[in-house]
Amino acid sequence: MKKLKPSKIVCVGLNYRDHAGEMKEKLPANPILFLKPPSTVIFNNDEIIYPRQTNELHYEAELAVVIKDRIKNVSEKEASKHILGFTCGNDVTARDLQRLDGQWTRAKGFDTFCPLGPKIVSGISPDNLSIKLFLNGQLKQSSNTSNLIFKANYLVSFISQVMTLEPEDVILTGTPAGIGPMQVGDEVRVEIEGIGTLTNRIAKW
């Protein structure tokens, strides 16, 4: 896979109906946005580093949208023209720090906390894809992008109304139910229909 160099990773919280239920949260009226810095990005078979600051490192399987060109204020109808393709993502999260801070920057911003891969796929519909996560071969998350509250094209349009999106910027569209912890030495795999498998291991800092 091309080594993407996004200027930013725009993430969407609570965007699967099953995950909102799991977290006992109401369905959001608008997409809940937060950012990961570019320094979080790693790729297939790279190591996720378990930081010393956390005791609760979690996986979050996500469909990732890769932006093709510089866009601002695009319509939902136009959005697909500006998508380079789709890949697998893992929104790695220090869950204890997320609860402690009350906002998400530190918990989701450590180096290596945004694995992407194994390839960027174009020409597929993002709205009905099986998404799964396996931890050491055991199925932990299983859903479908049809369960997204806000779909990919809508998110591209919505986010472009807020901020200019640059070529190779990434949108992480949210995670389904089943989030949970990872330990040093674990293997985590995100599998999305039509895209492939993103595999990473957890390593000690």
In percent, how much of the chain has pLDDT > 90? Answer: 92
Backbone φ and ψ of 204, nearest 5°: -75, 145
Q: Which residue has the higher pLDDT, 158 or 20?
A: 158
Cα 188 from Cα 45, distance rounded (Å): 10
Query: What confidence category does residue 25 fall into, taking pLDDT thresholds of 50, 70 and 90?
Result: confident
Cα 29 from Cα 12, distance rounded (Å): 13
Query: What is the mean pLDDT of the segment spanning 173-197?
Result: 97
Q: Tell me which residue of 124, 104, 91 sits closest to 19, measured CA to CA.
A: 91
The pLDDT tens digits for 80-100 are: 999 999 999 999 999 999 999
Query: What confidence category does residue 24 fall into, taking pLDDT thresholds of 50, 70 and 90?
Result: confident
Query: What is the mean pLDDT of the segment spanning 63-68?
Result: 98
β-pairing, 196-204 vs 93-94, is unpaired
The pLDDT tens digits for 68-83 are: 999 999 999 999 999 9
Cα 93 from Cα 104, distance rounded (Å): 9
Provide the pLDDT for residue 27: 85
With 80 as the cut, is the pLDDT of residue 18 above it? no
What is the chain's mean pLDDT, rounded?
A: 96
Provide the pLDDT for residue 154: 98
Residue appearing with tokens 């071969």: 137
Provide the pLDDT for residue 63: 98
Cα 196 from Cα 151, distance rounded (Å): 20
pTM over 0.85: yes
Domain assignments of the chain as residue spans, ordered by start? 9-204
CATH number of 9-204: 3.90.850.10
Query: What is the mean pLDDT of the segment spanning 21-49?
Result: 92
Query: What confidence category does residue 44 fall into, taking pLDDT thresholds of 50, 70 and 90?
Result: very high
Question: 16 with 147: CB under 8 angstroms?
Answer: yes
Provide the pLDDT for residue 1: 82
The pLDDT tens digits for 101-160 are: 999 999 999 999 999 999 999 999 999 999 999 999 999 999 999 999 999 999 999 999
Cα 117 from Cα 1, distance rounded (Å): 7
